[in-house]
Amino acid sequence: VGTLGIIFFAIFFREPPKVPSKGKK
Task: Convert the pLDDT of each residue in 1-25 to its tens digit.
Answer: 688 888 888 887 776 656 666 665 5
Range of the domain at 25: 1-25
Q: Give the span between the Cα atoms of 19 and 7, in whole angstroms.
A: 17
pLDDT value for 23: 60
For the chain, the distance separating the N- and C-terminal CA atoms, rounded to the nearest angstrom, is 22
Radius of gyration of the chain (CA): 10
d(CA 19, CA 25): 10
Q: Give the chain's domain count.
A: 1
Q: Could you give the CA distance from residue 6 to residue 25 in angstroms, rounded to a whole number?
A: 20
* Per-residue pLDDT at 10: 82
pLDDT at 8: 83
The pLDDT value recorded for residue 21 is: 61
For 8, the enclosing helix (H) or strand (E) is helix 3-14
Question: What does the pLDDT read at residue 18?
Answer: 63
